[in-house]
Amino acid sequence: MTTLILGGAGRSGTRILDRFAASGLPARPASRRTGFDWEDRETWASALRGASAAYVCFTPDLAFPGTPDKMAALGVLAAQHGLERLVLLSGRGEEGARLSEAALRSGGVPTTVLRCSWFQQNFSEHFLAGPVRRGRLRLPAPDVPEAFVDLGDVADAAVLALTRPDPLDATYELSGPELLTFAQVAEVLTDACARRIVFESVAVPTFVDDLAADGVPAEDATPLAHLFTDILDGRNASLAHGIQALLGRQPSSLKAYAGRTAASGVWS
């Protein structure tokens, strides 16, 4: 029996697959490049067949309209195919995502939900990589702190939930070890890169224009902008303890991530 990694070509999925490979445990990715498409339910059964567990990383976002229906259908199909556990990647403070979490669970398969803070890797592997390279973090962000989480910690938590002897039918909130505003993030990145990176608060339309200039499609740019206005209202301005509860250690800091990432040359 193998573990299915839905979204296996993405940022969290590749890290999880690397960990399975390093441990010699069987796992296989599924996404459009393997024939699995969230928009075509006919493609789902063949992906699930033969799997005993699945990591569920939905793209673009669990909070999007229509997603709870998809999660409910996947939960039923997973039960029909005999899957014994699911691990769902979710977002902290996203009210819409709660419906998707409940819908997946309604199929009856024990499900571990990992509600994550903002990924640290958004600054290097996603829409904030360009701004960091240019030395200008122009964001519609208020002076509200966020507890940025390392995707390596998220992957470790997911692998633990997928491989421990018994399934964990529970919800965990995962964050990093410190609360930082975007202005403070710019200071951490400045130290790591040894060049000035400034934070500028801008209006949403300016941010959307910047994203377009970086090649982010318009249909993705507006939801990303809303993440700033919706999620950064203080609701997530606290530390979560899911990494400690699951892994028995402290989460990795933004400073550690920034040091590693600067050394890799990705921001040069």
Interacting residues toward ligand NAP by CB under 6 A? 7, 9-13, 31-33, 36-39, 57-59, 61-62, 89, 91, 116, 118-119, 122, 126
Q: Which residues pair with 29 in a beta bridge?
A: 5
Task: State in angstroms the smallest separation of the CB of 176 from ligand NAP.
Answer: 11
Task: State in angstroms the smallest separation of the CB of 12 from ligand NAP.
Answer: 3
Q: Which residue is nearest to ligand NAP (CB)?
A: 10
Task: State in angstroms the smallest separation of the CB of 166 from ligand NAP.
Answer: 25
Q: Which of 139, 141, 140, 131 minimizes the C-alpha distance to 214?
A: 131
Pairing of strands 51-56, 111-116: unpaired
Task: State in angstroms the smallest separation of the CB of 9 from ligand NAP.
Answer: 4
Residues in contact with 113: Cβ distance below 8 Å, sequence separation at least 6, in sequence order: 88, 90, 101, 170, 171, 172
Of 14 and 201, nearer to ligand NAP (C-beta) is 14
Q: How far apart are CA 162 and CA 20, in angstroms?
A: 10
Of 41 and 196, nearer to ligand NAP (C-beta) is 41
C-alpha dist (Å) from residue 151 to 16, 21, 110, 174: 10, 17, 23, 10
Of 78 and 89, nearer to ligand NAP (C-beta) is 89
Of 100 and 210, nearer to ligand NAP (C-beta) is 100
Strand, helix or coil at 256?
helix
Task: State in angstroms the smallest separation of the CB of 50 from ligand NAP.
Answer: 19
Q: For residue 6, how many other CB atoms are within 10 A of its CB? A: 27
Of 24 and 225, nearer to ligand NAP (C-beta) is 225
Instruction: Give yes or no for a cis peptide into 29 (omega within 30° of 0).
Output: no
Of 114 and 262, nearer to ligand NAP (C-beta) is 114
Task: State in angstroms the smallest separation of the CB of 85 from ligand NAP.
Answer: 19
Q: How far apart are CA 207 and CA 227, in angstroms?
A: 12
